[in-house]
């Protein structure tokens, strides 16, 4: 799967049904070359100049399913905000 096909996909928590935002980038460990998570921007931060502060990192192990139109995550598996 290419990043271009993941970008803009909606990210949804499978337990609450909450729409967390859209995939805007990948979080990569440059030492290992492994993808460690998805960077998710809030709905209104996609085009916002200062939106970076609202971005969240969803750890790769929290992803339950990557579908054609959405990414389903299990927030109980260690969902983490970038600001923390």
For the chain, domains (ranges, CATH) are 3-81 (2.30.30.240)
**pLDDT (tens digit per residue) in 8-55:** 899 999 999 999 999 999 999 999 999 999 999 976 554 555 555 578
Q: Please state, in angstroms and rounded to a whole number, the distance separating the CA atoms of residues 11 and 83.
A: 19
pTM of the complete model beyond 0.85: no
Please give the C-alpha separations between residue 9 and each of 2, 24, 32, 33, in angstroms, as whole numbers: 12, 8, 26, 23
Q: Which residue has the higher pLDDT, 30 or 76?
A: 30
At residue 76, the pLDDT reads 76
């Amino acid at each position: 799967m290419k990043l271009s096909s993941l970008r803009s996909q909606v990210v949804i928590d499978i337990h609450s049904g909450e729409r967390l935002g859209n995939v805007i980038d990948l979080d990569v460990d440059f030492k290992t070359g492994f993808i460690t998570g998805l960077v998710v921007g809030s709905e209104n931060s996609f085009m916002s100049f200062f939106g970076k502060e609202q971005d969240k990192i969803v750890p790769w192990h929290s992803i339950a399913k990557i579908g054609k139109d959405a990414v389903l995550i299990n927030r109980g598996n260690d969902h983490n905000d970038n600001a923390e």
